[in-house]
A and B are shown apart, each in its own frame.
Chain A
Amino acid sequence: MLSRVADAVFWMARYMERTDNILRVLRTNYIASQDEIQNFDWNLWIAGLGCTTYDETVKPGYRQALFDLLLQKENDTSVLTNIVRARENARSVQDYITKEVWQCMNDYYHLIREKHTEYLILHGDPVTAFDNLLRESTLFYGTVDITLNRGEGYTFLNMGKYIERMLRSLDFLELKIKELEQQGNELVQWKYLLYALSGYEFHTKYYRNTLSTDNVLHQVMLNVQFPHSVLYCMQQVERYFKRLDSVSVPEHFKEMEFLLGKAISNLRYGMPTAPTAVTIKPILQNTRVEIKSLSQKLAALYFGYS
Chain B
Amino acid sequence: MSFASLLADYATSGHIWDEMCTQGEIRNHYKVFFDSLSQVSPADLLRKDELAKKLFMSQGVTFTVYSDGEGIEKIFPFDIIPRIITAAEWQQIEAGIKQRIKALNIFLKDIYHDQFIIKDGVLPAALIHSCPNFLREMVNVDVPFNIYTHISGIDLIRDSDGSFFVLEDNLRTPSGVSYMLENRNMTYRVFPGLVPHNNVRSVKDYPDLLFKNLLALSNRQKSQPTVVLLTPGIYNSAYFEHTTLARLMGVELVEGRDLVVDNAKVYMKTTAGLKQVDVIYRRVDDDFIDPLIFNPGSILGVSGLYYAYRKGNVAIVNAPGNGVADDKAVYPFVPDMIKYYLNEDPILKTVPTYAMDNPEHFTHVFGNIERMVIKKTNESGGYGMLMGSAATEQQVRDYKKEVQKNARQFIAQPIISLSSVPCFINNKIQPRHVDLRPFALYGPQGIEIVPGGLTRVALREGSLVVNSSQGGGSKDTWIVS
Query: A interface vs B, CB < 8 Å?
Result: 1-6, 73, 88, 91-96, 99, 102-103, 106-107, 110, 152, 156, 244, 247-249, 302-303, 305-306
Tell me if B60 counts as interface (CB < 8 A to partner A). Answer: yes
Q: Which chain B positions have C-beta within 8 A of A248?
A: 271-272
Partner of A103, one of B58, B243, B247, B269: B58
Tell me if B394 counts as interface (CB < 8 A to partner A). Answer: no
Interchain nearest-CB distance for A114 vs B (Å): 12
Q: Which chain A positions have C-beta within 8 A of B58?
A: 103, 106-107, 110
Distance, CA A93 to CA B239, complexed state (A): 11
Q: Identify the closest chain A residue to B62 (Cβ).
A: A106
Distance, CA A2 to CA B272, complexed state (A): 9
B60 touches A88 (CB 8 A): no
A2 touches B70 (CB 8 A): no
B233 touches A247 (CB 8 A): no
Q: Identify the closest chain B residue to A106 (Cβ).
A: B60
Q: Which chain B positions have C-beta within 8 A of A305?
A: 257-258, 269
Q: Which one of B5-13, B248-256, B437-445 is at the interface?
A: B248-256
Distance, CA A156 to CA B255, complexed state (A): 20
Partner of B270, one of A1, A88, A107: A1
Q: Which 5 A-B pairs have the closest CB atoms?
A: A95-B246, A94-B243, A95-B253, A95-B247, A106-B60
Q: Which chain A positions have C-beta within 8 A of B258?
A: 2-4, 305
A94 touches B272 (CB 8 A): no
Within 8 A of A (CB), among B207-265: 229, 233-234, 239-240, 242-244, 246-247, 252-255, 257-258
Distance, CA A292 to CA B252, complexed state (A): 30
Partner of B59, one of A4, A5, A93, A106: A106
Interchain nearest-CB distance for A213 vs B (Å): 42
Interchain nearest-CB distance for A85 vs B (Å): 12
Tell me if B14 counts as interface (CB < 8 A to partner A). Answer: no
Distance, CA A96 to CA B258, complexed state (A): 15
Q: Identify the closest chain B residue to A87 (Cβ).
A: B60
Q: Identify the closest chain A residue to B242 (Cβ).
A: A95
Q: Identify the closest chain A residue to B60 (Cβ).
A: A106
Q: Which chain A positions have C-beta within 8 A of B367?
A: none
Distance, CA A283 to CA B58, complexed state (A): 45
Tell me if B268 counts as interface (CB < 8 A to partner A). Answer: yes
Q: Is the interface of B mostly helix, strand, loop or mixed?
A: mixed
The interface size of chain B toward A, counting residues with CB under 8 Å, comes to 27
B59 touches A103 (CB 8 A): yes
B59 touches A1 (CB 8 A): no
A88 touches B269 (CB 8 A): no
Tell me if B273 counts as interface (CB < 8 A to partner A). Answer: yes
Q: Which chain A positions have C-beta within 8 A of B240?
A: 94
Interchain nearest-CB distance for B162 vs A (Å): 39
A103 touches B268 (CB 8 A): no
B271 touches A1 (CB 8 A): yes
Query: B interface vs A, CB < 8 Å?
Result: 57-60, 70, 229, 233-234, 239-240, 242-244, 246-247, 252-255, 257-258, 268-273
B234 touches A92 (CB 8 A): yes
Q: Which chain B positions have C-beta within 8 A of A156?
A: 271
Interchain nearest-CB distance for B333 vs A (Å): 39
B273 touches A88 (CB 8 A): no
Distance, CA A1 to CA B253, complexed state (A): 11
Q: Can you list 7 residue pairs at the A/B interface with Cβ under 8 Å?
A: A2-B269, A5-B252, A106-B59, A106-B60, A152-B271, A156-B271, A249-B273
B272 touches A247 (CB 8 A): yes
Distance, CA A156 to CA B273, complexed state (A): 16
Distance, CA A91 to CA B252, complexed state (A): 14
Distance, CA A91 to CA B269, complexed state (A): 19
Distance, CA A305 to CA B234, complexed state (A): 17
Distance, CA A70 to CA B229, complexed state (A): 37
Distance, CA A102 to CA B246, complexed state (A): 14
Distance, CA A93 to CA B272, complexed state (A): 18
B234 touches A2 (CB 8 A): no
Q: Identify the closest chain B residue to A156 (Cβ).
A: B271
Q: Which chain B positions have C-beta within 8 A of A93?
A: 253
Q: Which chain A positions have C-beta within 8 A of B255?
A: 4
A94 touches B247 (CB 8 A): yes
B246 touches A249 (CB 8 A): no
Q: Which chain A positions have C-beta within 8 A of B60?
A: 91, 94, 102-103, 106
Distance, CA A302 to CA B240, complexed state (A): 27
10 more contacts with CB within 8 A, not counting A2-B271, A93-B253, are: A1-B252, A1-B270, A2-B254, A91-B243, A95-B246, A96-B253, A103-B59, A106-B59, A247-B271, A303-B271
Q: Which chain A positions have C-beta within 8 A of B268?
A: 2
Interchain nearest-CB distance for B449 vs A (Å): 25
Distance, CA A91 to CA B253, complexed state (A): 12
Q: Which chain A positions have C-beta within 8 A of B234?
A: 88, 91-92
A2 touches B252 (CB 8 A): yes
Q: Which chain B positions have C-beta within 8 A of A5?
A: 252
Distance, CA A248 to CA B272, complexed state (A): 5
Q: Identify the closest chain A residue to B70 (Cβ).
A: A73
A249 touches B272 (CB 8 A): yes
A302 touches B243 (CB 8 A): no
* CB contact under 8 A between A4 and B243, given known A107-B58, A110-B58, A305-B258: no
Q: Identify the closest chain A residue to B255 (Cβ).
A: A4
Q: Which chain B positions have C-beta within 8 A of A302?
A: 271
Q: Identify the closest chain A residue to B228 (Cβ).
A: A2
Most buried by A among B242, B243, B271: B271
Distance, CA A141 to CA B269, complexed state (A): 29
A4 touches B257 (CB 8 A): yes
Q: Identify the closest chain A residue to B54 (Cβ).
A: A110
Distance, CA A306 to CA B240, complexed state (A): 24
* CB contact under 8 A between A2 and B270, given known A92-B233, A95-B253: yes
Distance, CA A73 to CA B426, complexed state (A): 35
A3 touches B269 (CB 8 A): yes
B57 touches A4 (CB 8 A): no
Distance, CA A5 to CA B272, complexed state (A): 13
Q: Which chain B positions have C-beta within 8 A of A306?
A: 257
* CB contact under 8 A between A3 and B270, given known A91-B234, A305-B257: yes
